[in-house]
Amino acid sequence: MAFSVTILGNASAKPTPTHHPSAQVVNLNEQYYLVDAGEGVQQQLIRRGINPLRLRAVFISHLHGDHCFGLFPLISTLGLMGKRTPLDVYAPAPFGEILDYHLRYFDSELPYEVKWHEVRTTEHRIIMENSTLEVWSVPLRHRVPTAGYHFREKQPGLNVDKWKIEHYGLSIAQIVAAKRGEDIYLEDGRIVPNAEITYRPYEARSYAYLSDTAYSAKAAERVKGVDLLYHEATYAMSEEQWAKGRGHSTTTEAARAAVKAEAGRLIIGHFSSRYKNHDALVEECRTIFSNTHLATEGEVFTIEEQR
C-alpha cells in the first residue's frame, strides 16, 4: 500500500514569495489526510495534483493563523466543487466556535457537513481510527494548546505461504485458521506451528508530525520507532534563546528529537522567513542526525514497505 507525505508549505508565521505556511498531505492507500492548513493551501493542493474532494479529514495542530487560515476558503471551495460527504476536522478548542461563525456568515448553505472533533492537547490517545490506520494525538510544548499527530498504519494480516499449503495439503478452513494466528492440527496428529506457515506481507509503518513545539523529550518518546518524523526547526542552533521564548525548536533540537525517537528519517520545516537559504539548517541537523531532509514544497516523501 502507498504511504507518503506531500509537503505543501514549509514556512512559519508568514508566507514569502517562494514559501507557503504549514500544510501537508498524508496519503495512505489513496486515502488523503490534510495536516495543518496555512494560507493558500487549496492552491497548493491543486498545484501538486491532489483533488481537494479526496480529502478524508483535516488535522489542525493549533490555532495560530499560519496553521489554519487556509482551511476556511477550502471549506467554501469544497462546497462549490459539489462535495456531499462529511469532512471531519480534528482541532483543539475553541475551533468549534470559530467554525460556527464561519458557517453562519459565509457557508450557511453548504451541501455537506463539517464535523469538528475536539483534540485535547494534554492527552496522548487515539483520536481517529479506521480499518487501515489509527491517528494519535501527541501533546506538544508551544505558546498555545498544541498537538502533534502520529499516523500509524495497522499491522497487516497474516498471509499463508503457498508452498506450505501444498506441502501440508491444507484445507480452506485450515488456511483461514492460520490467518487468524492459530496452529494447525493435521490428520496424522502432527501440529504445525503458525509461525512455520505464515508471514507478514510487510511491517506496519508510521509518520509523526511534531509542530509547533519547543524541544520535548516526552513527545519524542511517544513516537519512538517512527519511520518518518517531521519536526519543526524554525531557527538555527545559534538562536536557541529566541526559540525558547517563542515556543519553537532549533535545528539541533529537532535532530535531538529524531535521535530520541529512534526515527528512520527526519524532515525539518517551519522555517523563519529570515532564512533565504535552508541548506545550512539541514547541515546543522545532520551533524547530530545524518538522515535529515528539508521539507521542500512539492516534495513527496514515501515510506516504503519493509518486508
Q: 99: helix, coil or strand?
A: helix
Q: Is the pLDDT of residue 188 over 90?
A: no
Please tell me the least confidently modeled range out of 11-25, 156-170, 252-266. Answer: 156-170
Q: Spell out where the chain has E strands.
A: 3-9, 23-28, 31-37, 55-59, 87-91, 114-118, 126-129, 133-139, 147-153, 159-160, 184-185, 191-192, 198-199, 206-210, 228-232, 265-269, 292-294, 300-302
CB 12 within 8 A of CB 234: yes
More confident site: 186 or 294:
294
Q: pTM, whole model, 2 decimals?
A: 0.90
Residues 6+ apart with CB under 8 A from 173: none
Q: Is the pLDDT of residue 195 over 90?
A: no
66, 88, 107, 227: which is the annotated catalytic residue? 66
Question: C-alpha grid cell for residue 45?
Answer: 493542493
Where does the pLDDT of residue 149 fall: very low under 50, low under 70, confident under 90, or very high at 90 and above?
very high
3-157+200-302 CATH choice from 3.60.15.10, 3.10.310.30, 3.40.50.2020, 3.90.1150.10: 3.60.15.10
CB 83 within 8 A of CB 51: no
Q: Is the pLDDT of residue 307 over 70?
A: no
Q: What is the pLDDT of residue 103?
A: 97
Q: Is 276 exposed, middle or buried (0-12, 13-18, 19+ CB in 10 A)?
A: exposed
Question: C-alpha grid cell for residue 301?
Answer: 516523501
Query: Tens of pLDDT along 204-240?
Result: 999 999 999 999 999 999 999 999 999 999 999 999 8
Q: In terms of Cα–Cα distance, which of 263, 269, 270 is closest to 288? A: 263
* Residue where the block lists cell 484445507: 171
Query: Tens of pLDDT along 27-66?
Result: 999 999 999 999 999 999 999 999 999 999 999 999 999 9
Q: Is 66 a catalytic residue?
A: yes
Mean pLDDT of all residues in the chain?
94
Where do the structural domains in the chain lie, given as residue ranges?
3-157+200-302, 159-198
